[in-house]
Amino acid sequence: MDDLIMKWDNLEKVLGEYAVELRNAYQDRLINSDRIATGELLNSVECFVEKDNVVISVVLELADYWKYVEYDTKPHWPPKDAISEWIKFKPILPDNRFGYLPTPEQLNFLIRRKISEKGTKGTNDLHNTVEEINEKYIDLIEQAITEDIEQTSTAILTQFFKD
C-alpha cells in the first residue's frame, strides 16, 4: 500500500541539487560583488530541502542583515557600533586631501553621515542568483514532478488491476 502514496523522490532529488547550486552561486556572487567585510553573511548561507506531509520547500537561511546588503536602503543613520565593526574588517582608504587621515571615530561619523544623506546601494545578488538558478532548474523540476506522478499512477493502476 505504501507504493500508492506520493513520495516525490525525483522532485526531492532535483530540489536538493537546486539548493546546493543556489548556495554556491550566491556565495560566489557575494564574493564577486566585493561586499565581503567580516565574512559573516558569506559563511551564514545555508540552503536545504525541507519536507512535511504536504509541502516540499527549499529553505535559504542567511545572517539577519542580508536584506541591507541585497536592497537599497533609504537615507538613515546606521548604528555606530555596526559601522565601527565594519571599519575594522573592511579595508577603507580615507581621503587624505586635507593633509591628515581621520581617526576611526571620525571615519565612523563620515560613513554614517553619508548613509544618512544617500542611503546605501543594494547588490541584488540574491535576486539575480535565484533568477539564474530558477531558469536553469524549471524544466528539471517539471520533469521530476512528471516522473513522480507517472510512477505513482503506475503503482495505483497496477494495484487496481491486481485486485
The DSSP code for 102 is: P
Give the residue carrying C-alpha cell 544623506.
Answer: 117
pLDDT at 43: 94
* Cα atoms in the Cβ-side hemisphere of radius 13 Å centred on 96: 5
Name the strand (E) or helix (H) holding 51: strand 46-51
Q: What is the pLDDT along the chain (163 residues), one digit of tens a residue?
A: 555 577 889 999 999 999 999 999 999 999 998 777 788 999 999 999 999 878 999 999 999 989 999 999 999 999 999 899 888 887 776 767 667 788 888 889 999 999 999 999 999 999 999 999 999 999 999 999 999 999 888 888 877 777 6
Q: How far is residue 103's CA from residue 109's CA, in Å, rounded to a whole number?
A: 10
How far lies 121's CA from each of 68, 71, 97, 108, in Å?
A: 9, 7, 25, 18
Cell numbers at residue 161, please? 488491476
The one-letter amino acid code at 153 reads S
Alpha helix locations (H) across 1-124? 9-32, 40-44, 66-70, 80-89, 104-118
| pLDDT for the residue 1 | 52
pLDDT at 15: 97
C-alpha cell at 141: 523540476
Q: Looking at residue 7, what is its pLDDT?
A: 82
The predicted pLDDT at position 52 comes to 87
Domain boundaries, the chain: 1-71+121-163, 73-120
* 42 within 8 A of 31, measured Cβ to Cβ: yes
Alpha carbon 132 to chain centroid, angstroms = 12
Q: What is the pLDDT of residue 12?
A: 95
